[in-house]
Amino acid sequence: MGWTAAGPCRRSDAPRMIVETAYAKINLALHVRRRRDDGYHEIETIFAFAEHGDLIEADLGAPPALTIEGEFAEALAGEDPNDNLVMHGGQMLLAALGGGIMPGIRLTKSLPVAAGIGGGSADAAAVIRLLCGAAGVALDDPRVMTVARTLGADVPACVMSHSVRGDGRGDDLIAVEAQALDAMPLLLVNPRVPLPTGPVFRAWDGVDRGMLDNGEPLAAAIAGRNDLEAPARAIRPVIGEVVDLLAAQPGVVLARMSGSGATCFALFDSEAARDAASAVIRGGRSDWWQLATRVRPARS
């Protein structure tokens, strides 16, 4: 059974194999303002994305199925493929665009799971981009963003996968001029401990420490904070060790935990400084996962 789609989702010239990257998400700053009546939290954040991430491959001629491989595939081994955001998100999108059959999907899981860098949201967003490309549908189509918001608060930003501000649940996206961030050297480090989002938000102390600055994104991020870092450190003290080690490296512009953790990041003033820091961490903590990359420019 091959990939087909009705109405606006039909593209006769679509190639059989399509590849898309699920770019790692970074919260350069994350201000938690209050807990909402719907259970979500009102936040203000600056999203950025790495140039690297998980890999999504779709075979438009294969029956609907999800295959997961890669370094962190084992962490998802017990999941029902039909419950995975990759398949669920793709099915929701096709239904919103007029119907169709999911293709065969292979996910190469290179990013840690429950790590504060997008994970399933980034993977689902990559499938959305992939299917929209095959169907000739623009990513800013209201139907696309409606599906993305339904899947999760950070999925809309992951669909765009470039630097953007997020308010509300994080899905009210505001364009920013982020040239200072474009291609900036970036190092991600995870101590290989999973940290689900729920317990971290529940451990937040409920104190509103003020708004995130509306100015230039890098300056706003440096002046800002991650309100989830303290509760995350309390749950996983090793996070403090990671952040402190990153912050101590020469050439660091900003070191912080991303999202709800446990992945931490550092922005550097040069690739040489980033690579030197990577070598230091590898020499001292070879058991930690790390990714040396750059911030993905908006024009990518």
State the catalytic residues. Answer: 25, 154
- Among 155, 133, 135, 136, residue whose Cα is nearest residue 145: 155
Instruction: Evaluate whether 119 touches 107 at the Cβ level (below 8 Å).
Output: no
Instruction: DSSP letter for 294, please.
Output: E
Query: How many CB atoms are closer than 10 A to CB 2?
Result: 12
**Distances, alpha carbon 179 to alpha carbons 76, 182, 253, in Å:** 36, 5, 15
Number of Cβ within 10 Å of residue 128's Cβ equals 27
Which two three-digit tokens encode residue 186?
A: 């970036």
Region of 170 (left: φ > 0; alpha: ψ -120 to 50; beta: rest) is left
